[in-house]
Amino acid sequence: MKYVYGPVPSRRLGLSLGVDIIPYKTCSFDCVYCQLGATTNKTVERKEYLPKEDILQQIVEAYKKKKKNN
């Protein structure tokens, strides 16, 4: 899947589904400790960066897959 990964173990929730709703290293900050490295697209522009329909579809698919495997 392109926008969804996991589920991954979570100490608080047991399992957690990762969802990327913005492109890689698009951020309003450029933190020195960022695990992803330096920000390449520093912006505060509000817009739809990725197609929400595709993201939602992948979340539903991940949920169905997890439910089927339980």
Whether 26 and 60 have beta carbons less than 8 Å apart is answered as no
Residue 60 interacting with ligand SF4 (CB under 6 A): no
Cβ-based burial of 1 (10 A; exposed 0-12, middle 13-18, buried ≥19): middle
Among 15, 21, 36, 60, binds ligand SF4 (CB under 6 A): 36
Residue 29 interacting with ligand SF4 (CB under 6 A): yes
**Dist CA 34 CA 48 (whole Å):** 23
Residue 31 interacting with ligand SF4 (CB under 6 A): yes
Would you tell me which residues interact with ligand SF4 (CB under 6 A)?
Answer: 27, 29-31, 34, 36, 39
